[in-house]
Chain A
C-alpha cells in the first residue's frame, strides 16, 4: 500500500504495451492497492492505469462516483484486471487531460456506451455496461495499457490541443 509517483511523458514506459495478468497473486493485489491509493491521494483523479505508476501489467482502477460529471451514472470503485471492451456504441467528445501529460488538454471523441469485461481483485470475471463519463474514463485508462495517450486520439481540428493553465 503506497502512493506512487505518476510517470509523465516522455517517460518511455507510457508508450509500451502492458502484459496480461496470468494469475491474481499478492503482487497484483498490491498494484491494485497502489493504484487506488495514488488515485485517491491526487484528489481529483478518476482513474489510474498501472503503466502510469511504472508497472507494465494490465491493471487499472476507475472511480468517477465523486466527480460532478460521473456521480449520476457509475459503478463506484472499479478495480479492473485484464479489462477488455467488448461492445461500443455512440460517440461523445470531451476535452481530456491526463496526469501523465501535464498542462495539456485536447478534444477526444470516444464511444458513449461500452460493455467492458474484466477480472476483479478476487479473480471473478465481471461484465458491466456503462455510458457517459465513466465510459470515457475507462476507455482513457485502457488506452494506457496499450501505450496510447490521449494525444494519439486527438482529432484533426486545428486547436484541439491547449496548454492548460499552470497550477
Chain B
C-alpha cells in the first residue's frame, strides 16, 4: 500500500466532503487519518490515504478535475514508505491556552519558546474572537513535553512572553490513565 497526503481547500459550502470522498472511494483509496475544518470562510481538508496500486500523482489521472472545476484547490503529496505511521512520542501531554487582545507575533513567540525547549506541538488551533473594536486572539495547542519536564517549568519558560505580549497563558498537563 502506497500512501499520499491530500489537501483540499475552497470556499465553504455543503457537499464538499461528499464530493471529495466519492472520488476517493471510486478510485479505491483508503482513508486513514484525516482532519477537516472550516477556517474563516474556507473549508480545509487534510487526508492521509492509501492505495494498493497507485504510486504517483499521475496514477490518479484526472480524477481531481471535478474538484478543481468546482473551485477547490487540490494538492497531493506522495509519502515515502512509513510516512503514514504516527511515531510514538514519549513524554507528558500538555494543553496550553494563550489568549489576549490581538497583536502580531502571539503564535510565533509561543511556538519559538516551545520549539527551543524541544516541546513537540501535536495540535494547534487559533481563532480571532471578540468584537471588531476589541479583537481577542485565542490559541489552544496540545504538545508533548520532553522527558522529565513538568507544568511549572513550561510556565517559567512562557512567563516572559506572557509579560511582554500581555496575554494570559495557562498550561495544564493531562494524565494518561488506563481504566
Q: Given the known A-B contacts A163-B86, A165-B88, are A137 and B179 also in contact in the complex, defined by CB atoms under 8 Å?
A: yes
CB-CB contacts below 8 Å: A1-49 with B: 44-47
B166 at the interface (CB under 8 A from A): no
CB <8 Å contact, B86 and A95: no
Please report which residues of chain B, range 122-143, place their CB below 8 angstroms from some CB of chain A when the two chains form the complex.
122-123, 125, 142
Mask: chain B, 108-133; 1 = CB below 8 Å from A; 0 = not = 00000000000000110100000000
**Contact (Cβ within 8 A) A95 B123:** no
Q: Binary interface profile of A, 34-73, with partner B (CB < 8 Å = 1, else 0)?
A: 0000000000111100000000000000000001010000
Q: Do most interface residues of chain B lie in helix, strand or loop, or is the interface mixed?
A: strand
**Contact residue range for chain A?**
20 to 34
Q: Chain A interface secondary structure, helix, strand, loop or mixed?
A: mixed
- Which residue of chain A lies nearest to B177 when distances are taken between CB atoms in the complex? A94
A79 at the interface (CB under 8 A from B): no
Residue B37 CB within 8 A of the other chain: yes
Closest to B178 in A: A97
CB distance from A24 to the nearest CB of B (A): 25
Give the B-binding residues of A (Cβ under 8 A). Answer: 44-47, 67, 69, 93-99, 105, 107, 133, 136-137, 140-141, 150, 157-159, 162-163, 165
The 3 closest A-B pairs by CB, nearest first: A159-B123, A165-B88, A95-B176
